[in-house]
Amino acid sequence: MNPLLDLADLPRFADIKPEHVNPAVEQLIADARDVVARIENTEAITWDSVVEPLQDATERLGRAWGAVAHLNAVISSPELRDAHNAALPRVTQFFTELGLNRNLFERYKALAENAKLLGDEQRALLNHELRDFRLSGVELEGAARERFAAIQETLADVQSKFEDNILDATNAFSLDVPASELKGVPDDVIATARAKAKDAGLGDDQFRLTLQAPCYLPVMQYADSRALREQMYRAYATRASDEGDSKFDNSAHIEQIMALRAEEAKLLGFANFAEVSLVPKMADSPAQVLDFIRDITKRARPFAERDLAELKSFAASELGLTDLQSPDVMYASEKLRQQRYAFSDEEVRQYFPEDRVLAGLFRVVESIYSVRIVEGKASAWHKDVRFFEVLDSDNHRIGEFYFDLYARDSKRGGAWADSARDRRMKRGHLQTPVAYMTCNFPAPVGDKPALFTHDDVITLFHEFGHGLHLLLTEVATLGISGFGHVEWDAVELPSQFMENYCWEWDVLTHMTQHSETGAPLPRDLFDKMIAAKNFQAGLGTLRQMEFSLFDMRLHAETRTANRSGLLKLLEEVRAEVAVMAPPAYNRMPWSFAHIFGGGYAAGYYSYKWAEVLSADAFSRFEEEGVLSPVAGSAFRKEVLGRGGSRDAMTNFVAFRGRQPSVDALLRHNGMTAN
Ligand SMILES: [Zn+2]
C-alpha cells in the first residue's frame, strides 16, 4: 500500500518515497472530487451530509500533502522536489475550485440559516467558511466574476514583478573601492569583497561591495568612511525607484497594484482595500488600527527623542560627527551599543546547552499547563528527529510532537511549527493533535552538547508557543481547532507570549549551565542582555509605526498611488511619526515588499499588535507568578484552547478581564516614564 494513503495513525515517514507522491495525490484528489459531486447531488442539507464528508475527504488530502510538503522542507532531494513540484499545482487548483464552488456555498449558507440545529463550534466554522467563500468572489456573477478572477491573476503577476525588481536592482548594484575605503569593516566582509573583485578580473587593491545584506549591513555598521556609507545608503534607499536605474523602477507596478486592489474591494462591496484586508483579522476597522498606531507613536516618541539625542551627542563627542545624518545612524548606533553593552553571543551561548534548554522549556510548560511531556517513539525522516507525547494529569494523551532542531543541508532555513494532524471528534472518536516543530540550530559537534545562542532559545520558545496552540486546543471541530481560522493578527499571540519566558531571571537561572564550569548565567550578564534588548527601543518602535501608518493610510484612503501621491503620503507620515528626516531621495515605499509584494497589505501593524497582546497577556502572569498554574489554566481555557471557535478579542477580554493595553509592552521595552 502507498504509505501516504495510510492515514490510520502517524505518517509512516521512513517508508515514504518520492514515487509515492503523485499517485497518492491523484487518488486523494479524485476521491475528494467524487465526494464533492455526491454532495452537490444530494437533497439533504445537514452537517452530516455536507460538512462531515467534505471534511473527511479534504482532511485526508491535507494530511497526506502535509507530510509531503513537510518532507520537502526538512529533507529535500532532487527527486522529492520534482515530485512535490509536479503535484503542487493540482493540490492548489483543487482547493481554489473548492473555494469558488457556488453549489457548496449555497449548501453551507442554507445550513448556517438553520443555525439552531448546530452547536457553537459548528456555527463558528460555517461563519468562517462562508466569509472565505465570499472573499474569494463566489457570489459574483457574469462579467464581475470574470473580472475578479482576472484581477487576482494580474495582481499575482504584478506583485511578483515588484519583488523581482527589488531583487534585480539589489543584484545589479556593485561598488568597487580600494582597501583604504574599508577601514573598520570586519575581515570576513572584506575577504568576500576581495573574492568578488577578483572574480570580476579587478586588480589587487580593488574590493567589490554589494547591497546584499551580508555586505550592506556590516558596511553601514562598521565602515569608518562616511563617503562610502553615503554611497551605499543612497543606492540601498533608492532601489527599484525613480531615483535608481529606470530598468527596475517599481513606480508603475505600485500604481497598478493599488488600482487593482481598489477595484477588487469595490467588486466585493467594500469601500477600500484596507477593509477587505481586515475582514479575517482581529482589528475591526482601519480607524481602530490608525488609533492603535497613533497611540503607540505618541507614547514612544519621547523615548525615541531621547534615543536620538543620546546618539547625536555620542556621535559628536566620540566620533566627531557633529551633524548626524541617516547614513550615520547604524554606524554610530553600533559604536554606542558596543561601548555600553560589551558581550558577545558566543559568550552567552556557553550557558545554553541543549538539554538544559529543553528541560527549562518543558518545566515552564508543565508548570503552567499542568501537563507532562515524555519522550516517545515514532517513524521519522532523520535520525536526529525526536518525538514527544504531552499527557494530562491523569496520564491521558493530549497530543504529540516532533522536534527537528538541527540545521542540515537538505533543510529549508528558518524555524516553524506546523500541524501534522488536527484535533477532531470524528464519529465519537477523538483524534488527538500532532505537531511538527522545526528549527535550524547548530548540531552537537563530537561529544559536546549543542549550544544555543539566546536568540536560538527565543526562537525555540516562539515555535513551541505555536506548537502549544495546536496541541492544547480544546476545540473538536476540524478547521477551527489548533490555529485553524484564528485571526491573522492574533496568530502570533501564543508564540510571542512564550518568548517572554526567555527574559525571566527565575526561568533562566534554571535553564542555564556553562558548558565548562557548570555555572548558571551570571546576573550581570543577564542585565546587560536586557539592556541590549531595549537599546534604542524608542527609535525602533517609531520606525515600525512609520511603516504601519504608511501602509494603513495608503490602503484606507482613496488617493492616487503615483510618484507624487506616494511621496506626499510619505511626507505626511514622517511629519507625524519620524524624529529624524531621511534625505529627500529616500524611496522607502518602492522596495516595501511586505505590502506590495507579499501578504502584509494593510497588515503591517500586526507585528506590533501581536506584541501588545502577548506582552499584556504575560503581564497577568507577572502579577500572579510567571509559572502560575491558575493563570496558565485560564490562558489555556480562554485563549490557547479556543482556536477559531470564538473571536480573539473575546478570548483576550475573557482572560485579561479587560481590553488589551499597550502598557506592558512599553514597560518590557524599557519605555516607562520615571
Ligand atoms: Zn511565529
Measured in Å, residue 162 CA sits from the centre of ligand 1 at 25
Neighbouring CB atoms inside 10 A of 146's CB total 11
Q: How many residues belong to the chain?
A: 674
Give CA 458 to chain center in angstroms.
14
Q: Is the pLDDT of residue 69 over 80?
A: yes
What are the residues whose beta carbons fall under 8 Å from the beta carbon of 40, sequence distance 6 or more? Answer: 101, 103, 104
CA angle 291, 124, 282 (to 5 degrees): 15
User: Is the CB of residue 383 less than 8 Å from the CB of residue 403?
Assistant: no
DSSP state of 578: -
β-bridge pairing 397-406 and 386-391: antiparallel
Contacts of residues 388-391 at CB distance under 8 Å and 24 or more positions apart, as own/partner, are: 390/471, 390/472
Q: Which residue is catalytic, options 59, 129, 389, 463? A: 463
Measured in Å, residue 387 CA sits from the centre of ligand 1 at 21
Measure the CA–CA gap between 143 and 149, rounded to whole angstroms.
Answer: 10
pLDDT digits (tens, 9 = 90+) for 141-192: 999 999 999 999 999 999 999 999 999 999 999 999 999 999 999 999 999 9
pLDDT of residue 608: 96
pLDDT digits (tens, 9 = 90+) for 403-438: 999 999 889 888 999 999 999 999 899 999 999 999
Measured in Å, residue 412 CA sits from the centre of ligand 1 at 16
Sign of CA dihedral 209, 210, 211, 216: negative
Q: Is the pLDDT of residue 673 over 80?
A: no
Measured in Å, residue 462 CA sits from the centre of ligand 1 at 6
Measure the CA–CA gap between 509 and 493, rounded to whole angstroms.
Answer: 25
Surface-to-core class of residue 41, CB atoms within 10 Å of its CB (0-12 exposed, 13-18 middle, 19+ buried): exposed
Confidence band for 674, pLDDT divided at 50, 70 and 90: low
- In the block, residue with C-alpha cell 527574559: 503
Measure the CA–CA gap between 561 and 258, rounded to whole angstroms.
Answer: 7
Q: Is residue 353 classed as helix, strand or coil in its secondary structure?
A: strand
Annotated active-site residue 463? The verdict is: yes
Measured in Å, residue 524 CA sits from the centre of ligand 1 at 30
pLDDT digits (tens, 9 = 90+) for 271-325: 999 999 999 999 999 999 999 999 999 999 999 999 999 999 999 999 999 999 9
pLDDT of residue 309: 98
Measure the CA–CA gap between 321 and 17, rounded to whole angstroms.
Answer: 61
Sheet holding 372-376, edge to edge: 372-376, 386-391, 397-406, 434-441, 416-421
pLDDT digits (tens, 9 = 90+) for 192-204: 999 999 999 999 9
β-bridge pairing 397-406 and 434-441: parallel
Measured in Å, residue 357 CA sits from the centre of ligand 1 at 19
Measured in Å, residue 492 CA sits from the centre of ligand 1 at 5
Measured in Å, residue 478 CA sits from the centre of ligand 1 at 21
Sign of CA dihedral 469, 473, 478, 479: negative
pLDDT of residue 670: 94
Measured in Å, residue 640 CA sits from the centre of ligand 1 at 14
This model's pTM is above 0.75: yes
